[in-house]
Copies of this chain bind each other. A is one copy, B any other.
Amino acid sequence: MENIAEQVLAGNRYALSRVLTHIENDTSEGRAALKALFPHTGRAHLIGVTGAPGTGKSSLVNRLAYYYRHPPEGEPKRVAIVAVDPSSPFTGGAILGDRIRMRDLAGDRGIFIRSMASRGALGGLSRATAGVVAALDAAGFDVIFIETVGAGQAEVDIARLAHTTLVVEAPGLGDDVQAIKAGILEIADVLVVNKADRPGALSTLRALTEMLKLAHPSQEVIMHHGRRMTIPGAQAEQAAPVWIPPVVKTVAIENEGIDDLAAAIGKHRTYLRESGEWQVRDRVRLQSELEDMLRDALMQQWQRRVPSDTYKATLEDVFARRLAPYDAVAYLVNHRAPAR
């Protein structure tokens, strides 16, 4: 499997696909490949994209990907898209159908698209996504989009894998101040109002700007045509670098506002690098990934140690209300199988 990891590092797309499948299925080959690839990770810019269904996230990501492949200046970037659907039991081709419609991306070897779905537990999907992203990072993709289908807790957890998180809204989906979920604003680095040519775009934009003011009361934020303007008097407080999420208007299917959005993402990347936040986010991500795996591993270790009959008997005591859950746990945690 070290061989296949070398092929991935050398840019072999077929080897990459095979490795990703191994990682998704959590095979020993997948783990061996991740071990070999891990030292080569840490270079890609991970961009999470989340938002309710119907906001046009996929089109937006397609357009951004195309923009990075054909930038107005500078070198084209290599782009990977990981489309994650926690509510779908199918993997591989599920969201790919939508992708194929974007002909401009087809056949471009600087683009790699992968759909993922939850076959088992959500925790498993989150971990598999982390592994897939790590492999793509090692394979040399400069930008990796992690796109989720919805905006539930599972999606938010997955979007958190990223350095930069885009939260996409659209007018007319009931996304008024009340309906925007409380947690979603906190994870947004860039807010996007897509389908901004639709009725209600202005009120969505206003609602988001109002919410941002509430979230960042010490700074005045004025939005104008998707540009963030800071009131001069408030700048004195900005001695330490502070990131106020900008609100960007786009119409993805018309390719409008994509340059503004790319500029906002670029600014956030610069902010992350200059403030040291890039490294902080990297560490938080790796640590939380590790602790999730540690919890699962400890549970598995415990399951090997404690006979399942012991566990079942204890559960029956709880069901019969003879033993409170807290006391059952105290007993189970310290249980040792009799010496043989």
Task: Give me the interface of A with B, judged by CB distance under 8 Å.
Answer: 31, 34-35, 38-42, 52-54, 87, 130, 150, 152-154, 172-175, 178-179, 181-183, 282-283, 286-287, 289-290, 293-295, 297-299, 301-302, 315, 318-319, 321-330, 332-333
Chain B residues whose CB sits within 8 angstroms of the CB of A326 once the complex forms: 31, 34-35, 293
Chain B residues whose CB sits within 8 angstroms of the CB of A323 once the complex forms: 38
Least CB separation from A297: chain B residue: B333
Beta-carbon contact of B301 and A287 below 8 Å: no
Chain B residues whose CB sits within 8 angstroms of the CB of A299 once the complex forms: 294-295, 298
Beta-carbon contact of A319 and B179 below 8 Å: no
Question: How distant is A75 from chain B, measured CB to nearest CB, in Å?
Answer: 25
Beta-carbon contact of B319 and A282 below 8 Å: yes
Per a CB cutoff under 8 Å, which of B175, B319, B327, B332 touches A35?
Answer: B327
Given contacts A42-B321, A286-B319, contact A333 B298 (CB under 8 A): yes
Chain B residues whose CB sits within 8 angstroms of the CB of A301 once the complex forms: 333
Given contacts A153-B154, A328-B290, contact A54 B179 (CB under 8 A): yes
Chain B residues whose CB sits within 8 angstroms of the CB of A154 once the complex forms: 153
In the complex, A38 Cα to B332 Cα: how many Å?
18
Least CB separation from A290: chain B residue: B325
Number of copies of this kind of chain in the complex: 2
Per a CB cutoff under 8 Å, which of B172, B293, B298 touches A302?
Answer: B298
Least CB separation from A174: chain B residue: B174
In the complex, A327 Cα to B39 Cα: how many Å?
13
Least CB separation from A30: chain B residue: B326
Question: How distant is A195 from chain B, measured CB to nearest CB, in Å?
Answer: 14
Least CB separation from A315: chain B residue: B287
Beta-carbon contact of A179 and B52 below 8 Å: yes
Question: How distant is A30 from chain B, measured CB to nearest CB, in Å?
Answer: 9
Least CB separation from A54: chain B residue: B178
In the complex, A314 Cα to B168 Cα: how many Å?
37
In the complex, A170 Cα to B166 Cα: how many Å?
29
Least CB separation from A298: chain B residue: B298
Beta-carbon contact of B174 and A294 below 8 Å: no
Per a CB cutoff under 8 Å, which of B181, B319, B332 touches A294?
Answer: B332
Beta-carbon contact of A297 and B330 below 8 Å: yes
| Chain A to chain B: the 10 pairs with minimum beta-carbon distance, closest first | A174-B174, A153-B153, A38-B324, A87-B182, A298-B298, A293-B329, A297-B333, A35-B324, A290-B325, A39-B321
Question: How distant is A137 from chain B, measured CB to nearest CB, in Å?
Answer: 10
In the complex, A87 Cα to B287 Cα: how many Å?
24
Beta-carbon contact of A329 and B294 below 8 Å: yes
Least CB separation from A279: chain B residue: B319
Per a CB cutoff under 8 Å, which of B174, B297, B318 touches A290?
Answer: B318
Least CB separation from A138: chain B residue: B321
Chain B residues whose CB sits within 8 angstroms of the CB of A315 once the complex forms: 283, 286-287, 290
Beta-carbon contact of B325 and A293 below 8 Å: yes
In the complex, A318 Cα to B284 Cα: how many Å?
11
